[in-house]
Amino acid sequence: MENQFINQTAIITGAGQGIGFEIARQIAMQGGAVLLNDIDAAMATRAAAVISAMGGKCHPFPGDASDVDFIQQMVDEAVRKFGFVTIVIANAGITSYGEFLDFKPENLKSVIDLNLFGSFFLAQKAAIQIKKQGGAGSILLMSSVTGHQAHKNLAAYGMTKAALEMLAKSLVLELSPLNITVNAVAPGATATERTLEDQDYEKTWSRITPMGRPGTVEDVANAVLFLVSPRSRHITGQTIIVDGGWAATSPSPY
C-alpha cells in the first residue's frame, strides 16, 4: 500500500543497516518521516543519506540507544524536526554468544542494557510524547525466535527477547487507553550484512528452515510495517514470528 505512512513520524533504533535500515527505507518510501538512529555515526549518516537520495524524508541521529538521556533526546529531536512522533521501533540490540557456565557479568549487563533497558525506556518516553499529542500511535519491539526456542550459547540473549514479548503484552493495559498499540516481531535466521559474514550461513539455514531459505530483511520489515500501519489498529500485545517455520521444528544449526 503506497503512502500509508503519510503524516506519520517514526523513530527507529539500530537502523544503519540490515533489518532496521529496510524498515526505515520502506516507511520513508511510503510517505513517513524517519528519525534514523545507530550507534555508529558514520553508518547512521550514510543510511539516512541513501534514503534521502531515494526521495524519502530521513534524518540521522546517531547515539547510544541504551542511554535514557539520549533516548529522551531522540524523542525531542523527532518532535523538533518533524513536529510529532507516532511510531517507535526498538530495533537496536546486542547478540552476545557465550556458554552459560562461563558467562561474564559485564556481558550480561551490556545485553540487558540495550535489549531491555533501552527498549523499555524508548517505549516509555515515546508513549509520554504521544500522550502529550493527544494519543494514537504504535510501538514495535524487536524480539527473536530465541525468545521462543532454546538456542546454544544464547541464554542471555534469548532471555531478553522473551522479556520484550512480555513487555508488549503488559503495556496493553496502560497504553490502550491512549490508543497506542504495542506489538513485537520475532525474526528467525535472516540474511543481513552481519550474518552473511559467515560463509556457511545461507547454506546452513536453507537446509534446516522448512521454507527452504533464511529470511530476508524485507520479510521482517513487511511484518513490522503491518503492525505499525493503520491496517492493524486493533492488534496489540501480539508477537509475529518471521522464521520460515523454523520455530515449529527447531533443528539445531550446529
Q: Cα-Cα-Cα-Cα dihedral of 26, 43, 184, 188, to 10°? A: 100
Q: What is the number of other CB atoms lying within 10 angstroms of the CB of residue 52?
A: 16
Active-site positions read 157
Secondary structure (3-state) at 211: coil
Given a contact cutoff of 8 angstroms between Cβ atoms, the answer to whether 16 and 46 are in contact is yes
- What do you get for the CA distance between the two ends of the chain, in Å? 40
Q: Which residues neighbour 229 within 8 Å (Cβ) at sequence distance 6 or greater?
A: 1, 4, 5, 138
